[in-house]
Amino acid sequence: MELRSQKNPQNLNEPELAALFAELDLKGLFLVWGPRRGSQRSEQIARALGIEIEYLYLTTKQGLLYAPFKYFYQGLATWVLLARRRPEVVIIQDPPIIGPLFVYLFSLLFGTKFIIDSHTEAIEDAEWQWSIPLHRFLSKRAVTTIVTNEPLKQKLDAWQVNTFVLPDPPMILPAATALPLQPDATNMVMICMGDLDEPVAEMVEVAKTLPDIHFYITGNCELNFPEVVKTAPANVHFTGYIKEEFFPLLKAVDAVICLTTCSYTFLSGANEALWMGKPLITSDSPILRSYFTQGTIHTGNSIEDLRRAVLQMSQDLPQFQTGILELQRQRRPEWHQKAQALIQLIGRSTSAKPATAAA
């Protein structure tokens, strides 16, 4: 199926993207094997395309003890859901790669087209390296495999599969009343999950030397950084996982910090800062440097580098505020153009005759 109309991406908004997808006259579904928390990438993409999203999971616990049971349950639930809904196109988040496997098996019987939305950890993390041959097999049979950045695309291109770069989308943010934070102080939030690739300990050490700046750190930091949490100074506030208060917190702070030691990760927290219009401190990786080009300080993850970045941000906030708003104006039409190209790709795939993929 081909689109009957072509839109200027400079003028597109989300309802118009959804209308373009609707022109294909295809029933779509976005499927996530996991809970609705953390990154909102999947939900935002589904909303932009005007398709439903479903979260399927038995437990959030991980490990070999739980995997067989939860994957069996989630696989069965996937088949029941797909048999009931009968979508013609399914976008399935990866990891875990077992989700795309069950969707592929369903497609063999019912002809469903599927797209893999592959997050960085599915390709880069050591715990998922065993699944790379399966990932390659499934990507050869998918309409395309979506990745967040060009270096990941280059890795998958070596598999001789169809890949598509789609960064995290512009966010339509809920109306939020700013949380009351420390008055007459600079307030910054570090958006994180509490994972080991995030320099939480280094950030707390920085805070110890800057008592007039208050730092709000999200995520479950007690799991991997228990001593850091216990010994944090008074100007560090660990929020834990927050849902209802997340955007009110972002609205209240002066700047956002979002960091990783991983080279290929596109940080959803950095994207949230962009669309909240908040100046950003983020890691100095090629991917983040190439995308967050204004209103942003790129820094190393050492205590010295982080302290320097925080001081620069606190001293030049108006300049970075102007820059991040300009970056919003630049990135929005770019993303809409990519989304329109994805819709066109889906349309072409449903028009083409099925082909046998090489192993």
pLDDT of residue 352: 54
Is 173 contained in some domain?
no
Q: Looking at the structure, do residues 162 and 190 belong to the same domain, yes or no?
A: no
Per-residue pLDDT of the chain (359 residues; tens, 9 = 90+): 555 444 554 455 677 899 999 999 999 999 999 887 656 889 999 999 999 999 998 866 666 667 788 889 999 999 999 999 999 999 999 999 999 999 999 999 999 999 999 999 899 888 899 999 999 999 999 999 999 999 999 999 999 999 999 999 998 777 778 898 988 899 999 999 999 999 999 999 999 999 999 999 999 999 999 999 999 999 999 999 888 899 999 999 999 999 999 888 899 999 999 999 999 999 999 999 999 999 999 999 999 999 999 999 999 999 999 999 999 999 999 999 999 999 999 999 987 544 444 43
pLDDT of residue 38: 58
pLDDT of residue 358: 42
Q: Looking at the structure, do residues 264 and 124 belong to the same domain, yes or no?
A: no
Q: Looking at the structure, do residues 162 and 192 belong to the same domain, yes or no?
A: no
SS3 assignment, position 39: coil
Is 51 contained in some domain?
yes
Is 281 contained in some domain?
yes
Is 340 contained in some domain?
no
pLDDT of residue 30: 98
Q: The domain that contains 296 carries what CATH number?
A: 3.40.50.2000
Let me know: does 270 contact 258? Beta carbons within 8 Å.
yes
Instruction: Give the start-end residues of each E strand in 133-175.
Output: 145-147, 163-165
Residue 119: how many CB atoms within 10 A of its CB?
Answer: 22
Q: Looking at the structure, do residues 144 and 267 belong to the same domain, yes or no?
A: no
Q: Looking at the structure, do residues 136 and 200 belong to the same domain, yes or no?
A: no
Q: Looking at the structure, do residues 104 and 192 belong to the same domain, yes or no?
A: no
Q: Looking at the structure, do residues 61 and 196 belong to the same domain, yes or no?
A: no
What is the total count of domains within the chain? 2
Q: Looking at the structure, do residues 133 and 253 belong to the same domain, yes or no?
A: no
Is 349 contained in some domain?
no
Is 343 contained in some domain?
no
pTM, rounded to two decimals: 0.84
SS3 assignment, position 295: coil
Cβ contacts of 273-278, under 8 Å, gap ≥ 24: 273/191, 273/324, 274/324, 274/327, 274/328, 274/331, 275/170, 275/171, 275/173, 275/328, 276/171, 276/173, 276/247, 276/250, 276/251, 277/321, 277/324, 277/325, 277/328, 278/250, 278/253, 278/254, 278/324
Q: Looking at the structure, do residues 26 and 116 belong to the same domain, yes or no?
A: yes
At a CB cut-off of 8 Å and minimum separation 6, what does 29 contact? 51, 52, 53, 54, 82, 85, 87, 89, 90, 91
Q: Looking at the structure, do residues 129 and 96 belong to the same domain, yes or no?
A: yes
Q: Looking at the structure, do residues 215 and 160 belong to the same domain, yes or no?
A: no
pLDDT of residue 356: 41
pLDDT of residue 357: 41
* Domain interval for residue 113: 14-166
Is 306 contained in some domain?
yes
Query: How does 237-253 read in b/e, with b if 16+ C-beta sit within 10 Å?
Result: bbeeeeeeebbbbbbbb
Is 59 contained in some domain?
yes
Number of residues written out for the chain: 359
Q: Looking at the structure, do residues 190 and 93 belong to the same domain, yes or no?
A: no
